[in-house]
């Protein structure tokens, strides 16, 4: 997976080594006298020819790169030029002048980043699988991120999926915003200025969806699981309702399978909505349920304006207007 391996392969059995330079090293400061920082030459034998790969593309010169006394020696020009730097040979001074951006000054493309329509089915399965590697927020964000890394490449290759691990269990198990929503939301925000209307729709959809879907039956661990509607974007409500309906525990494999499916379902829905937005046929279908619509009329900004949030009031408060 692209997002997980931007560094060198460490398979000792290979005679030709692959040296991958991640986009993080996309600065000429990273290219030293023939050597390339960020690679570990010790895994190759001295004198052995090695492959140099910059941002996924093999770089070749008149002379192949090799390992000399533990240092990778590669032709400077093709490596530096592949990183967008200018290389000038000053014959009189016997100096190679390389002009590029200073280390660490890699310019970040303007927001939003270019989105390419993704296949919701691919993202759905990937979200399920990645859930088991880093939780719900990681699973949802990385399902979209890693697919964009493959489909688009840079600048998505500069984001580590691991940064989304904090959202697991509604932020380090606090049970607040479902991590799948949080992760999908981060990616929606990255790729579209209209993220708020898409995320609003996604959260509304989530609160009314009977999770988990049956779309994972071919590869999941627990088939045909019980479904519940949380009426809330909170991990707390979503998980607690489900485990009680399923007769399972929060820390059980059944619950993990359910949340893995939910992660895939939510990431796929985010991609569906985003694709529709790009195609110009996005529809905001979510409507506030009649259960709490009237609460808003009095407590929201046109009334008393003394309540923050769009969550279903009656899942926590009694309706004091009904006696």
- Catalog residues that contact ligand HEC under the rule CB under 6 A: 292, 294-299, 306-307, 309, 311-317, 319-321
Q: Which residue's CB is nearer to ligand HEC, number 53 or number 314?
A: 314
| Minimal distance, residue 138 CB to ligand HEC, in Å | 24
| Minimal distance, residue 280 CB to ligand HEC, in Å | 32
Q: Which residue's CB is nearer to ligand HEC, number 94 or number 322?
A: 322
191-196 long-range contacts (CB < 8 A, ≥24 apart) are 191/112, 191/113, 191/114, 191/115, 191/148, 191/274, 192/112, 192/115, 192/274, 192/277, 193/112, 194/277
- The C-alpha atoms of residue 182 and residue 134 are separated, in whole angstroms, by 14
| Minimal distance, residue 190 CB to ligand HEC, in Å | 28
Of 21, 76, 24, 77, nearest to 54 (Cα)?
Answer: 21
| Minimal distance, residue 205 CB to ligand HEC, in Å | 17
First to last CA, the chain: 58
Q: Which residue's CB is nearer to ligand HEC, number 9 or number 307?
A: 307
Tokens representing residue 279 in the block: 């195609």
| Minimal distance, residue 228 CB to ligand HEC, in Å | 16
Q: Which residue's CB is nearer to ligand HEC, number 85 or number 178?
A: 178
Q: Which residue's CB is nearer to ligand HEC, number 66 or number 232?
A: 232
Angle at 57 between CA 33 and CA 114, to 5 degrees: 115
């Amino acid at each position: 997976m692209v997002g997980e391996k931007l560094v060198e392969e460490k398979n000792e059995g290979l005679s030709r080594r692959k040296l991958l330079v991640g986009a993080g090293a996309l600065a000429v400061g990273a290219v030293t006298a023939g050597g390339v920082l960020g690679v570990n030459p010790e895994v190759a034998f001295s004198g052995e020819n090695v492959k140099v790969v910059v941002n996924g593309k093999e770089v070749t010169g008149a002379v192949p790169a090799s390992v000399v006394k533990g240092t990778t020696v590669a032709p400077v020009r093709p490596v530096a030029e592949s990183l967008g730097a200018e290389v000038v040979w000053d014959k009189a001074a016997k100096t190679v002048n390389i002009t590029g951006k200073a280390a660490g000054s890699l310019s970040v493309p303007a927001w939003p980043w270019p989105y390419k329509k993704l296949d919701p089915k691919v993202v759905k399965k990937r979200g399920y699988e990645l859930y088991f590697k880093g939780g719900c927020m990681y699973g949802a964000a990385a399902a979209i991120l890693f697919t964009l890394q493959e489909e688009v490449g840079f600048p998505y290759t500069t984001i580590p999926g691991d940064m989304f691990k904090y959202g697991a269990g509604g932020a380090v198990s606090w049970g607040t915003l479902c991590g799948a929503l949080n992760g999908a939301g981060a990616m929606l925000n990255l790729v579209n200025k209209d993220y708020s209307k898409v995320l609003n729709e996604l959260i509304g959809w989530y609160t009314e969806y009977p999770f988990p879907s049956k779309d994972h039956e071919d590869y999941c661990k627990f088939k045909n699981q019980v479904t519940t509607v949380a009426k809330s974007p909170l991990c707390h409500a979503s998980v607690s309702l489900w485990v009680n309906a399923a007769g399972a525990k929060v820390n059980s494999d059944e619950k993990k399978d359910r949340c893995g499916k939910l992660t895939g379902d939510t990431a796929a829905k985010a991609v569906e909505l985003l694709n529709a937005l790009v195609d110009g046929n996005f529809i905001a279908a979510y409507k506030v349920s009649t259960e709490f619509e009237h609460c808003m009329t009095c407590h929201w900004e046109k009334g008393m304006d003394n309540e923050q949030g769009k969550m279903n009031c009656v899942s926590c408060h009694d309706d004091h207007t009904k006696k």
